[in-house]
Structure 1
Amino acid sequence: MYKKLLGQTLIYGIGAIAPRIILFILNPLLIYKIPNEGFAVFTQLYALISFVNIILSFGFETAYFRFSAEKGQEKKTFNTSFWFLFATSSLFLILCYIFNQPIADYWGYHNNPEYIRWFALIAFFDNLLVIPFAWLRFNNMPIKYSAVRVTQSVFQALFTAALFFWIPESFSKSIGLDENVDYPFFSNLAGSGLGVLLLFPIILKVRFQFVFSLFSKMIKYSFPLMLAGLAFMVNENFDKSIQLKHISPEEAGAYGGCYKLAVLMTLFVTAYRMGIEPFFFKQMDKGDAKKTYAKVAEYFAFFACVVALGIIANLSWLKTLFIPNKSYWIALDIIPIIVIANLCFGIYYNFSTWYKVTDRTGVGTIISWMGAGINIGLNCLALMYYHSMIGSAWATFGAYFVMMTTSYLLGQKYYPIPYRIKKMTFFIGLLMIFSFITVYFFKYNFWLGNLLFLIYAGILIYTEKDMILSRIKKR
């Protein structure tokens, strides 16, 4: 059973991470071809879509899993969930078409109201697929799930490249693509539509059934999940969604482009989360569970800190490879801050074990919104009063740092886990000192930065030599 679970987790991991890697590889093309101000538009629209998707899906993916597990409820849950999300998505789509121009005027797209229509269609298609994708997972079809996800991403990437290099510009303009910033957005719309076609056989399984008593239970269950999801999106995208109103389009575009390079750290944390969550719950009833959680957190901090400094030390060539347009480099200094912020989020994820295994998930929602509130407050201060894109990066760091610290302190009160917190604090503190030296004194110099990286890795390996030797002996 565990072997099967591990195999499925790895396949689902591919489905979750591979699309992000594909789009990350596509990012240098977008940065090279799209000017800063155009990329600012692209970044803002995607930030807004992320918020809309959380609201429209309303946490019903998890609710579907929860209530489908009850005997005889799977079909009722499938039908009720699908029609609810179809209704919310359709209403959103209709409103965006009716108030197309006023919405475009409010967000500064006076001359491009079509962006709002595309935006609404992407959200509609994506939310139409939430329950069909969940159905694949519930019915143990990880290969099909991942195949559809990866196919969508490959198609989107190839379609974007085709619009830039192979499809005549005259044809693009004939279908309403007047600027090159339109290409990736339209490709996303096409990719979302392709997803509907690929999962159409599952959609055909839906029956005209809506169980109000079941829906009432599901909505109560999913509402806190939606709030927690919104808080996460605030921390990820609030800065990018409001920057165009407070800093120049050039700075906002550069911020969005450089922020995407920090995805390298996000991918590391995401891969870890995909594999470790089932493990946490499998260990919860064992007598040595707390010691296991402590060791896992320390291992994560060890490797994640090394990865973080490795990224920061090599920005001199990573920027050339992934940010080929030099006008974007004005925002380069946000990358170390965002990388370390994502490290803090990964450690927070470890520290969140206590409220998951003790069924206090409401506390997780409160902590998430505490972080979101800090993010909003610091972003408003940084952007409205100081017009600082660097301030936006520090707002993200501040939110995740407070969430990490708060979860640790509360966990030690309600479910004490013997983390070696002094050791982990040493890892993070030294990382921040070495990162500061690399950025402000070495100016991202490749040789000096990597010399410092080797020294840092050596120090961490020396402090953990007993752990490393014990693992080698066991093997």
Structure 2
Amino acid sequence: MLEKLAKQTAVYGISTIVVRFLSYLLTPYYTRIFEQGTYGVVTDVYALIPLALTLLTMGMESSYFRFSARAEEAGGDVRAAKRRLFATTWGVTSLAAVVFLLAVLLFRGGISRLMGPAYVAHPEYVAWVGAIILFDVWACIPFARLREQGRAMTYVGFKALNVALNVALAFAFGAAGLFATDFGVGWVFVANFIASLVTWGLILTTADRTLPRIDRKLLGAVFVYSLPLLVGGLAGTANEFLDRQLIKYLVPASADPMAQLGLYGAITKIAVVMMLFYQMYRLAAEPFFLSNFKKSDFVTMNAAALKYYVMASMLIFLGIALFRDVFARIVGRDFREGIYILPVILGANVLTGVWLNLSFWYKREERTSLAIVVTGSGLVAMFAFGCWLIPAWGYYGAAWARLASESAMVAVSWWLNRRFFPTPYAWGRIGEYVAAALAVFFLSEGVMRLTGNIVAGYAFNIVVFALYAAYLIRRERIDVGAMVRAALRRG
């Protein structure tokens, strides 16, 4: 079974890497054509969009996976049951998106004033972003359906087209000199809107002539499952954007909050590889672990999956953190001063995947109200540490607040799992791997300071990274040769 998860992760992984690589071409581009404050607007908007998407999709993606599995358990006309589920979840999210866009258009002046001076000067930015959200929500459930059907290549193909079109338009607008006009950064949102519109039109072809139509009885049952996920999802997504908002509102005006926001956003983008791994794992693992497994099989697989996730994550952590000066060249020269926060951001990203693994049991057991407890604890930690650290440390404080938030969610998830659904996670082995990786990192930092020679320091880093990888392979008795041979045979 874990082999199936690994294959699904690989399919999503390779394709997601390609898609995200195209998307992240915009980071070096934008950080070279925009000033720190202007790029701060991009960072601000793209931190808020996921919050709106979480609110409007209402936890329906996870609900779609779970209720599809229920339909298979119940038997009968499974195809008709899934079709009704698809129409209902798609219908309610589509309706919510329309109401949202109308509200944004009606109150865009007030929203612009709340968001800051850059938006007051251009309230049309708010309208364009609202339109992007509309089409992204309209496409959300059809994309979830592709994942549930195992149509990974179709899913990724549409995602890739969306990103490729967005990137192509951004470069075209730049070449045409549009970013230098008064509308300026607004052309970033126009490019995104066009890409979202085209993607929505294409994904309609996968709907099998199903129209959004709400079955009220089914919707009631779905809402019982999804509403706790919605509340928990909002808290979790708020953790992803609150650090940026706290920078905007807590950093003293003399320190230029929007410039610090731009710096912070650029450096977090450098952690792309870690987030790529997290995203590809989530895309494969969520429908996998919410399928129909016996409890004993689920427990065994979930425990093993967490260990291997941490092993891969620590390799990625070291691969980026030990060579962060090289990765700093991804962004423009004016943004590289913030590279020292990268290891903290990477650590937070590792913890995101840990508590994702620890969440599957309560989604499977339909105790989704526990998601509120987990993500709520993270939100409280983010707010508390952010209010404490950001006024004094600026975006550096935001990075530590984010790490504290993810740590709180892991701690609460661990306690809930131990209390209600004991799972034999290999915490001793996991702790050993994390401690060894951190020891390698701090040893590297010490050697770099002592030698002061970049070439010698990188040579040392290559050696200790290879030794850490060999240590993991030996400790887990992984037959690398057999894995390579199996991959070549499948190829």
Match of 1:194 among 180, 198, 204: 198
> Are the equivalent residues in 2 in contact too, given 1:55–1:226 (CA < 8 A)?
yes
Deviation at 1:405, TM superposition (A): 2.8
> Are the equivalent residues in 1 in contact too, given 2:19–2:163 (CA < 8 A)?
yes
**What is the CA–CA distance in structure 1 between the aligned matches of 2:481 and 2:7, rounded to whole Å?**
25
Deviation at 1:35, TM superposition (A): 0.9
Match of 2:268 among 259, 280, 290: 259
Deviation at 1:428, TM superposition (A): 2.1
Between 1:287-296 and 1:221-230, the stretch displaced more is 287-296
**What is the CA–CA distance in structure 2 between the aligned matches of 1:451 and 1:407, rounded to whole Å?**
37
Between 1:126-135 and 1:327-336, the stretch displaced more is 126-135
Deviation at 1:64, TM superposition (A): 3.5
Match of 2:340 among 333, 339, 343: 333
Q: Indicate the SS of the match to 1:310.
A: helix
Change (3 A) 1:277 1:454: farther
Letter in 2 for 1:56: L
In structure 1, the partner of 2:234 is 230
In structure 2, the partner of 1:116 is 126
In structure 2, the partner of 1:92 is 100
Match of 1:145 among 144, 148, 155: 155
Deviation at 1:230, TM superposition (A): 1.5
Change (3 A) 1:119 1:402: same
Deviation at 1:151, TM superposition (A): 0.7
- Residue 387 (structure 2) pairs with residue 380 (structure 1): yes
**What is the CA–CA distance in structure 2 between the aligned matches of 1:276 and 1:204, rounded to whole Å?**
26
Between 1:18-27 and 1:85-94, the stretch displaced more is 18-27
TM-score by length of 1: 0.86
Letter in 1 for 2:418: Q
In structure 1, the partner of 2:489 is none
Match of 1:319 among 312, 322, 328: 328
**What is the CA–CA distance in structure 1 between the aligned matches of 2:31 and 2:242, rounded to whole Å?**
21
Deviation at 1:10, TM superposition (A): 4.8
In structure 2, the partner of 1:21 is 21
Change (3 A) 1:456 1:425: farther
Q: Deviations over 1:99-133 (max 9, x none)?
A: 12221122111111111011110111111112332
Q: How many residues were matched structurally?
A: 466
Match of 1:101 among 106, 109, 116: 109
> Are the equivalent residues in 2 in contact too, given 1:101–1:113 (CA < 8 A)?
yes
Change (3 A) 1:446 1:318: farther
> Are the equivalent residues in 2 in contact too, given 1:225–1:365 (CA < 8 A)?
yes
Between 1:418-427 and 1:465-474, the stretch displaced more is 465-474
In structure 1, the partner of 2:54 is 54
> Are the equivalent residues in 2 in contact too, given 1:302–1:460 (CA < 8 A)?
no
Letter in 2 for 1:255: Y
Change (3 A) 1:202 1:275: closer
> Are the equivalent residues in 2 in contact too, given 1:11–1:146 (CA < 8 A)?
no
- Structure 2 gaps of 5+ residues are 72-76, 486-491
> Are the equivalent residues in 2 in contact too, given 1:427–1:460 (CA < 8 A)?
no
Matches within 5 A, 1:242-253: 242-247=246-251, 248=256, 249-253=258-262
Deviation at 1:267, TM superposition (A): 1.0
**What is the CA–CA distance in structure 2 between the aligned matches of 1:450 and 1:407, rounded to whole Å?**
39
**What is the CA–CA distance in structure 2 between the aligned matches of 1:2 and 1:397, rounded to whole Å?**
29
Change (3 A) 1:87 1:457: same
Between 1:202-211 and 1:364-373, the stretch displaced more is 202-211
Matches within 5 A, 1:217-366: 217-247=221-251, 248=256, 249-277=258-286, 280=289, 285=294, 290=299, 293-320=302-329, 322-323=330-331, 325-356=332-363, 358-366=365-373
> Are the equivalent residues in 1 in contact too, given 2:142–2:206 (CA < 8 A)?
yes
Match of 2:411 among 405, 408, 425: 405
> Are the equivalent residues in 1 in contact too, given 2:108–2:123 (CA < 8 A)?
yes
Q: Aligned-pair RMSD on alpha carbons?
A: 3.3
**What is the CA–CA distance in structure 1 between the aligned matches of 2:377 and 2:106, rounded to whole Å?**
36
- Residue 187 (structure 2) pairs with residue 183 (structure 1): yes
